[in-house]
Structure 1
Amino acid sequence: MLYLMTFQQLKLAIFYIVMVGLSILENLGQMNASLPKFIHENLEVLKQKGEHTDS
């Protein structure tokens, strides 16, 4: 029997995959791992947005 995910389940799965991926990239950046320039720049933008909304 083929299990078909509902649209809500698919959105939730994609959300978790993206969040875990961003967390891994952020941790690599904090460890000063070699990241491509565009990834490093985008992580800085996300970091600044997070700091701006926290206050």
Structure 2
Amino acid sequence: MSKFDDVQNDIKATPGLGKSMAKWSALGAVVAIPVPIVGPIFGALAGAGYAYYKGKKKV
């Protein structure tokens, strides 16, 4: 299995993790709006990464 598959399985197996990642992605994208073009993309990735890290830390 690749790392990508492991992350997908973790998200599916951890209740609420996907929902948390979606919320933090949206918040990251909104915060990064002032940065043209790539700001919201990297903001969303950073938000999802933070939620994933936070969710895995609890487990």
Q: Scaled by the length of structure 2, what TM-score is found?
A: 0.39
Structure with the larger RCO, 1 or 2 (CA within 8 Å, 6+ apart)? 2
Larger radius of gyration: 1
